[in-house]
Amino acid sequence: MNSDAIATLQQQLFAALSPPPDEARRLFHGRGRCWPGLEQITVDWLQGVVLVSLFREPEPDELTALKHMLMALTESPVWLDSQAHSLLLQHRYLPDSMTQWLLGEVRDEWLIGEHGLHFKLDLGKKQNTGLFLDMRYGRRWVQAQAEGKRVLNLFAYTCGFSVAAIAGGAEHVLNLDMAKAALSRGRDNHRLNGHDLSRVSFLGHDLFKSWGAIRKHAPYDLVIIDPPSFQKGSFVLTQDYRKVLRRLPELLSEHGTVLACMNDPDIGPDFLVQSMALEAPCLSVVQRLENPPEFADSQPDSGLKAMVFARHPETA
């Protein structure tokens, strides 16, 4: 991250904030490897809050230069016109992802909007804010597909898909995640949107110990699978994803659909297609959802993979 790279980042931020997005968006996606020297930095617009994340420790002089550029940005007409009020620098390479407030009042939580929906984010305390911005097209797709459907949301996290599904008219959504605190935030997100919680269920269980509870509510018209690439002691993508896929035939309705997601840059979409063919041959791929343009990647197969599969009715 030399001086030329930092100058490039400044230019990109000026452009991205002129004018600022109406909703939460990625402003700069260095991890897409389209900008040499900036591969380990991202910048997000959280509607007044700008979050800069570093994924690798910079040299001391690089960090000083970066902070100097960012503070100069906050004094520019572009920043003032954007009505931004807070600037955070997150050190994602540290075990606790320590976050510095370079500007603004320290807040633990913040509300943002996306596609007409509202979500509560965590600021400065956790590795992730609570909503993955690269999945916004996936949430939009779920909202458009959900009317009248029974939905199973696996690895639900803070229930972004569930919020989208209920907003789209889903009959019922079952959210499963072993992190009960994340599901509690999911309830908050539903309440923020005025949703009827009688149409939403939350299971704070280990998925692989919960198939019986999940089957009780089957069949599902839509199953969403969005696991972490690796979660120590509970999920390893290359080992455990197939265990989930092989359960789909007993969970899906006759015309059931699956949204299977994966965000490991080292594993391409063929892994999902081939694994589905092996474990659940009654399903075939329909499409890969596009990723938002602000998440451009020099190697498209390294970006988010959100794949839609549909069941063949004759195999139900």
Domain boundary among 42, 71, 106: 106
Cα–Cα distance measured from residue 206 to residue 234, given in angstroms and rounded to the nearest whole number: 8
Domain boundary among 106, 141, 157: 106
Both 277 and 140 in one domain: the answer is yes
∠ CA 259-260-266, rounded to 5°: 145
Q: What is the pLDDT of residue 229?
A: 72
How does residue 232 score in pLDDT terms, banded at 50, 70 and 90?
A: low
Both 219 and 292 in one domain: the answer is yes
Q: What is the pLDDT of residue 231?
A: 59
Alpha-carbon dihedral angle through residues 226, 224, 144, 27, given to the nearest 10 degrees: 0
Cα–Cα distance measured from residue 98 to residue 92, given in angstroms and rounded to the nearest whole number: 7
Both 55 and 96 in one domain: the answer is yes
Query: What is the average pLDDT score of the chain?
Result: 94
Q: What is the pLDDT of residues 170-199, one digit of tens each?
A: 999 999 999 999 999 999 999 999 999 999
Both 100 and 35 in one domain: the answer is yes
Beta carbons within 8 Å of 160's beta carbon, 6+ residues apart: 119, 131, 132, 135, 139, 189
209 part of a folded domain: yes
SS3 126: coil
Q: What is the pLDDT of residue 306?
A: 97
Q: What is the pLDDT of residues 106-153, one digit of tens each?
A: 999 999 999 999 999 999 888 899 999 999 999 999 999 999 999 999
118 part of a folded domain: no
Q: What is the pLDDT of residues 291-310, one digit of tens each?
A: 999 999 999 899 999 999 99
Both 101 and 142 in one domain: the answer is no
Domain boundary among 106, 124, 154: 106
- Phi–psi pair at 9, nearest 5 degrees: -60, -45
Both 80 and 14 in one domain: the answer is yes
49 part of a folded domain: yes
Q: Is the pLDDT of residue 233 over 60?
A: no
Both 144 and 278 in one domain: the answer is yes
Q: Is the pLDDT of residue 224 over 80?
A: yes
Both 13 and 65 in one domain: the answer is yes
48 part of a folded domain: yes
Both 98 and 171 in one domain: the answer is no
58 part of a folded domain: yes
Both 167 and 303 in one domain: the answer is yes
Both 195 and 274 in one domain: the answer is yes
Q: Is the pLDDT of residue 43 over 60?
A: yes
- Phi–psi pair at 284, nearest 5 degrees: -130, 155
117 part of a folded domain: no
256: domain CATH number is 3.40.50.150
Q: What is the mean pLDDT of residues 263-288?
A: 95
Of residues 230 and 173, more confidently modeled: 173
Both 70 and 32 in one domain: the answer is yes
Q: What is the pLDDT of residues 244-254, one digit of tens each?
A: 999 999 999 99
Q: What is the pLDDT of residue 312?
A: 81
11: domain CATH number is 3.30.750.80
Residue 278's Cβ-side half-sphere holds a number of Cα atoms within 13 Å equal to 10
State both tokens at 45: 């617009």
Cα–Cα distance measured from residue 307 to residue 145, given in angstroms and rounded to the nearest whole number: 14
Cα–Cα distance measured from residue 161 to residue 186, given in angstroms and rounded to the nearest whole number: 10
124 part of a folded domain: no
Q: What is the mean pLDDT of residues 64-74?
A: 97
How does residue 230 score in pLDDT terms, banded at 50, 70 and 90?
A: low
Share of the chain above pLDDT 70, in %: 97
Counting the structural domains of the chain, the total is 2
**What is the extent of the structural domain holding 102?**
3-106
Q: Is the pLDDT of residue 316 over 50?
A: no
Q: What is the pLDDT of residues 22-36, one digit of tens each?
A: 999 999 999 999 999
State both tokens at 156: 């639900």
39 part of a folded domain: yes
Alpha-carbon dihedral angle through residues 35, 38, 42, 45, given to the nearest 10 degrees: -70
Beta carbons within 8 Å of 263's beta carbon, 6+ residues apart: 132, 134, 229, 303, 304, 305
Burial letters 174-208, b for 16+ CB under 10 A, else e: bbbbbbeebbebbbbbbeeeebeeebbbbbbeebe
Q: What is the pLDDT of residue 2?
A: 86
Residue 298 Cα distances to 43, 64, 271, 295, 301, angstroms: 18, 28, 20, 10, 9
